Amino acid sequence: MTRDTRPALVTDAFRQLSARLGQDPLQVQGPGGNTSIKDSEVMWIKASGTELADAERQMIFVPVDRAAAIAEARGEAGDGSCKGTVLDPAITLRPSIETTFHAALDFNVVAHTHSVATLVHAISPEGRAALDAKLAGLPFVRVPYAKPGLPLTREILARAAPDTQVFVLQNHGLICAGATVEEVSDLLAEVERRLAMTPREGEGPTPSEPAPDGFDWSPYGWLAGGGAEAATAGSYYPDHVVFLGPALLQSDHDGTPPAVLVPRQGVALRKGATSSQTAMLRCLSDVLARVPEGWTLDPIGADAEAELLNWDAEKYRQALAARTPT
């Protein structure tokens, strides 16, 4: 029997905020990011693999039992996936892999983005130091990198005070929480204003040489020049690994990389690439173009990449995203 799902929680304002974030590639890329709205008992959260950009066109949210999700966040029940917390048995979509921290944060509205401005700071030790100064006065904490899902939730909860509303996730993104949609929207805008960085590079010219077989040249050819070292040194945030694989490869060695960097020529995107893969390649360009000279970068490392590539929850999200062509 379906329990009370409180559909009235999913307000037009909440949908509008979610869609606005999802349609801005400097905030969210493809199926990344998630939003939630709740009362003390029920929480509606974006379904895994759906896109915030569709929030006003489709019902991309699923209702979960908040108490059950909090129990998973605390390790008292379940496996952290919250698949068993969905209140309507007719819904086949899974709740976001980030459901546990949304449920455990004691604010009515929570928005998690992969803000480019935040990522620029969060992937660099110099950037994190600069971020601390830029966000001074806001109720914020920095959270060290952890695998998305329950490990990340534990790191967040270990650092959250009752009044913490802004969480900068190292090598991952941003969370803003508040009592209302308007409050969260204002917090997001304030963080963006304080962390905004002007890009040093833009879209490069299309190479005169033909792209490798099975590929087309992308507009982000500048990465093959001044950005090549950073682009091929490692992966800087989870969704890059999930949708593009570790770092950017310099050859199509096994017929699987969605994108390859051809040194001193350009970056090629495989024909038939999904919209998620295209979005993540743009994200890499947007992030690296804003990293100031002199800042060093911290990739998440091979072990973290392997955790993501072998994770059932991310394979599920990849499969859903693969249904959306470019």
Residue 41 has pLDDT above 50, yes or no: yes
Q: How far is residue 151 from each of residues 16, 81, 144, 222, 283, measured CA to CA in Å?
A: 30, 11, 11, 36, 24
Residue 203 lies in a domain: no
Band the pLDDT of 223: cuts 50, 70, 90.
Answer: very high
Global pTM reads 0.93
Please tell me the predicted confidence (pLDDT) of residue 249. Answer: 87
Band the pLDDT of 84: cuts 50, 70, 90.
Answer: very high
Assess whether 131 and 250 both reside in one domain. Answer: no
Band the pLDDT of 2: cuts 50, 70, 90.
Answer: low
Of 153-167, 174-188, 203-217, 230-244, give the lowest mean pLDDT range.
203-217
Residue 201 makes CB contacts below 8 A (sequence gap 6+) with: 222, 226, 227, 285, 288, 289
Please tell me the predicted confidence (pLDDT) of residue 311. Answer: 63
Please tell me the predicted confidence (pLDDT) of residue 274. Answer: 94
Q: How far is residue 170 from each of residues 14, 118, 209, 289, measured CA to CA in Å?
A: 26, 9, 38, 19
Please tell me the predicted confidence (pLDDT) of residue 251. Answer: 78
Give the CA diameter of the chain: 62
Assess whether 75 and 190 both reside in one domain. Answer: yes
Please tell me the predicted confidence (pLDDT) of residue 202. Answer: 64
Distance CA 22, CA 244 (A): 19
Distance CA 211, CA 285 (A): 19
Query: Number of helices and strands (H, E) in the chain?
Result: 12, 10
Quote the domain boundaries for residue 226.
Answer: 215-321
Assess whether 248 and 292 both reside in one domain. Answer: yes
Assess whether 80 and 140 both reside in one domain. Answer: yes
Distance CA 123, CA 296 (A): 9
Assess whether 171 and 280 both reside in one domain. Answer: no
Please tell me the predicted confidence (pLDDT) of residue 236. Answer: 98
Assess whether 156 and 120 both reside in one domain. Answer: yes
The CATH number covering residue 113 comes to 3.40.225.10
Assess whether 162 and 39 both reside in one domain. Answer: yes
Distance CA 200, CA 202 (A): 7
Residue 252 has pLDDT above 80, yes or no: no
Residue 256 has pLDDT above 90, yes or no: no
Count the domains in the chain. Answer: 2
Assess whether 158 and 221 both reside in one domain. Answer: no
Please tell me the predicted confidence (pLDDT) of residue 36. Answer: 98
Assess whether 177 and 243 both reside in one domain. Answer: no
Q: Tell me the pLDDT tens digit for each residue of 104-141.
A: 999 999 999 999 999 999 999 999 999 999 999 999 99
Please tell me the predicted confidence (pLDDT) of residue 203. Answer: 65
Assess whether 142 and 100 both reside in one domain. Answer: yes
Please tell me the predicted confidence (pLDDT) of residue 316. Answer: 44
Distance CA 222, CA 4 (A): 53
Residue 325 has pLDDT above 60, yes or no: no
Please tell me the predicted confidence (pLDDT) of residue 15. Answer: 98
More confident residue, 200 or 324: 200
Q: What percent of the chain has pLDDT over 70?
A: 92
Please tell me the predicted confidence (pLDDT) of residue 317. Answer: 47
Please tell me the predicted confidence (pLDDT) of residue 200. Answer: 86
Average pLDDT over residues 184-212: 90
Residue 312 has pLDDT above 70, yes or no: no
3-class state of residue 306 by DSSP: helix
Residue 201 lies in a domain: no
Q: In what side-by-side order are the strands of the sheet with 259-262?
A: 215-217, 266-270, 259-262
Mean pLDDT of the chain: 92
Please tell me the predicted confidence (pLDDT) of residue 323. Answer: 47
Band the pLDDT of 324: cuts 50, 70, 90.
Answer: very low
Distance CA 124, CA 170 (A): 9
